[in-house]
Structure 1
Amino acid sequence: MADWGAVFVSTVLFILLTPGLLFQVPGHCRYVEFGSLQTSGASILIHSVIYFSLVALFLVALNIHVYFFK
């Protein structure tokens, strides 16, 4: 049995935290923009820090595990 928790958590957070998809911090006109589908270097940096923090929280602190059985 393989532990798919890291793969599942990382994939879901990567999709949700893609800059400009759901939200973007900092935005071009405001601090937070929703659904702009645009990105900048600063937003990529901030979103990657948020991504790393949440992955560390879910995988290390909360010890998330997902097992699939045949």
Structure 2
Amino acid sequence: MQDWAGVFIPLVLFILLSPGLLFQIPGKCRIIEFGNFHTSAISIIVHAILFFSLAAIFLVAIGVQMNLGP
């Protein structure tokens, strides 16, 4: 059996946590800005920390598995 959770979960998190796509933490004028399509170095660092912590939680701590096949 193949476990696709290691591919699918980081892909979804990468899309959702891209700085400026859905939200940006910290924003230029506020703490959280939504859909501004801008980014900064500090927001890239914050989103990278969020990405790796959520990926570790889903893949290691919880142990999510996705088996595609018969």
Could you state the TM-score of these two structures normalised by the residue count of structure 1? 0.96
| 1:2 Cα deviation after fit | 1.2
> Equivalent residue for 1:25?
25
> Equivalent residue for 1:68?
68
Cα distance in 1 for residues equivalent to 2:35 and 2:6: 27
Q: Which secondary structure state, in structure 2, belongs to the residue aligned with residue 45 of structure 1?
A: helix
- 1:25-53 CA distance string (max 9 Å, x none): 01011111000000000000000000000
Could you state the TM-score of these two structures normalised by the residue count of structure 2? 0.96
* 1:44-55 equivalent positions in 2, closer than 5 A: 44-55=44-55
Report the RMSD for the aligned CA atoms in angstroms: 0.8
Aligned-pair identity in percent equals 53
Which segments of 5 or more consecutive residues in structure 1 lack a partner in the other structure? none
Amino acid at match of 1:39: T
Cα distance in 2 for residues equivalent to 1:53 and 1:68: 25
> Equivalent residue for 1:38?
38
